Amino acid sequence: MAIQALERRLGAPLFERTQRSVALAPAGRTLLPEVRRLLQAADDLPRQAQAAAAGLSGRLRLAFVSSIAYGPLPAWLRSFRLDYPEVVLALREATLDIQLDAFASGEIDAGFVLHAKGVVPSGLQAWLALREPLVMALPDRHPLTTRRRLTFDRIASEPLVIFPRSIAPSLFDAIVGHYHACGLTPLIAQEANQMQTIVNLVSAGIGIAWVPASLMQLQRPGVVYRALGDAPLSCDTSLVWREASLPVVHRFVAHVQAAQAWPPQSFFSTPSRQKKAS
* pTM of the predicted structure, to 2 decimals: 0.75
Mean pLDDT estimate for the chain: 85
Check residue 183 and give its pLDDT. Answer: 94
**Is the pLDDT score of 7 beyond 70?**
yes
What integer is the mean pLDDT of 130-154? Answer: 92
Summarised one tens digit per residue, pLDDT across range 37-82 is 776 766 655 655 555 565 666 899 999 999 999 989 999 999 999 9
CB 195 within 8 A of CB 66: yes
Check residue 206 and give its pLDDT. Answer: 96
Summarised one tens digit per residue, pLDDT across range 75-116 is 999 999 999 999 999 999 999 999 999 999 999 999 999 999
In this predicted model, which residue has the larger pLDDT, 196 or 22? 196
Check residue 169 and give its pLDDT. Answer: 94
Q: Which residues contact 35 (CB under 8 A, 6 or more apart)?
A: none
Rg of the chain over all Cα atoms, to the nearest angstrom: 28
Q: Tell me the domains of the chain and their CATH numbers.
A: 2-53 (1.10.10.10), 60-278 (3.40.190.290)
Check residue 113 and give its pLDDT. Answer: 95
Alpha helices (runs of H) in the chain, residue ranges in sequence order: 2-10, 26-53, 73-83, 96-104, 152-155, 169-181, 195-203, 247-258
Check residue 24 and give its pLDDT. Answer: 82
Check residue 68 and give its pLDDT. Answer: 93
pLDDT > 90: what percent of the chain?
A: 60
Q: Which residues contact 196 (CB under 8 A, 6 or more apart)?
A: 66, 218
Check residue 95 and give its pLDDT. Answer: 93
Check residue 260 and give its pLDDT. Answer: 62
| Alpha carbons 250 and 242: distance in angstroms, whole number | 10
Summarised one tens digit per residue, pLDDT across range 158-168 is 999 999 999 99
Summarised one tens digit per residue, pLDDT across range 215-273 is 998 888 999 999 988 777 899 999 999 987 788 999 999 999 998 655 544 344 433 43
CB 265 within 8 A of CB 133: no
The closest alpha carbon to 172, from 221, 199, 226, 134, belongs to: 134
